[in-house]
Amino acid sequence: MQTSRGVMSGLTTTPMTQSSTAIAEIKNYILAKGLQPGDALPTESQLCADLGVSRSSVREAVRTLVALDIVEVRHGHGMFVGKVSMRPMVESLVFRGLLNPGDDHRGLRDIVEVRITLDNALADPVTRAWKNRHDTDLDTIVDEIEELASKRELFTEQDRRFHMRLLEPLDNHLFLHLTEAFWAVHTLTVPLLDAPGSEDMISSAKAHRAMLQAARAGDAQAYRQAITQHYAPLLAALT
């Protein structure tokens, strides 16, 4: 490992503590070695020797990186590159959505509005990717959503699978990760609201069908109209 003049630490001109130096250098090591999630990292002792910092500083750095899902500690096995997921962002956004419960669910409205904006922005690439494309799994998911809605049963897992499957063919997988993150926030904060009514569930189920049909027709305008239908009951509950 190099000193704190590495890639990550070079982005700041503020004085660095030993732990912040260790954080930067562990990131640098992962990048320089081209490591992937699940790959092993040096031992705590080796990190202390390579970085020239104390064991307590390395431990503090590792705790921070674990919280960010960049490092994973497997007791008895060592340290590994973490999943580097969006879990920390999800947890922060969920907590934000739970703050100030008397604000008429402003935090949840913000999250829903971001989801709507992202879904609308992806209308063109989604309809291009799915035009004349058939997928029996996606058909099954929509069938399950409609069946559950008719029974007034929640279809949370089917909703997640539907949105994730629609984005899988896109070249930019960051869209998929962002959508999944915001979906998770949405799902965790929705219990703040009253249970959806039968009409709302039926309307949402129909919107999923309309989104799929519009995607296969390559009709971005119809896809956006279905998105509006999809979120209308939730937005109404938040106003």
Higher pLDDT, 199 or 145: 145
pLDDT at residue 53, as a whole number: 85
Phi and psi angles of residue 146, each rounded to the nearest 5 degrees, phi first: -65, -40
3-state helix, strand, coil in the chain (%, to 5): 70, 5, 30
In the structure, what pLDDT confidence band is assigned to residue 8 with cuts at 50, 70 and 90? very low
pLDDT at residue 80, as a whole number: 95
In the structure, what pLDDT confidence band is assigned to residue 168 with cuts at 50, 70 and 90? very high
Tell me the pLDDT tens digit for each residue of 175-195. 888 887 777 776 766 666 666
pLDDT at residue 11, as a whole number: 46
Secondary structure of residue 236 in the 3-state scheme? helix
70's CB contacts (< 8 A; 6+ apart) are: 26, 27, 30, 81, 82, 84
Higher pLDDT, 135 or 69: 135
**Alpha carbon distance 64, 233 (integer Å):** 40
Query: Following DSSP, what letter does each residue of 34-73 receive, concatenated?
Result: T--TT-B---HHHHHHHHT--HHHHHHHHHHHHHTTSEEE
151's CB contacts (< 8 A; 6+ apart) are: none
Angle between helices 55-67 and 44-51 (to 10 degrees): 110
Which range in 84-88, 106-110, 219-223 is most confidently predicted, on average pLDDT?
219-223
Q: Which two tokens stand for residue 45?
A: 């002792």
Query: Is 90 exceeded by the pLDDT of residue 129?
Result: yes
Residue 159: CB atoms within 10 A of its CB come to 20
Tell me the pLDDT tens digit for each residue of 12-53. 444 467 888 899 999 998 998 899 999 999 999 998 998 888
Q: Which residue type sits at 232?
A: A
Query: Is 60 exceeded by the pLDDT of residue 7?
Result: no
DSSP alpha helix (H) spans, 168-219: 173-189, 198-217
> Averaged over 57-79, what is the pLDDT?
90
Higher pLDDT, 127 or 8: 127
Secondary structure of residue 80 in the 3-state scheme? strand
In the structure, what pLDDT confidence band is assigned to residue 96 with cuts at 50, 70 and 90? low
Among residues 186, 183, 185, the alpha carbon closest in space to that of 237 is found at 186
> Averaged over 85-107, what is the pLDDT?
67
CA atoms within 13 A on the CB side of 42: 19
Tell me the pLDDT tens digit for each residue of 199-239. 888 999 999 999 999 999 999 999 999 999 998 888 887 77
Which range in 11-15, 57-61, 106-110 is most confidently predicted, on average pLDDT?
57-61
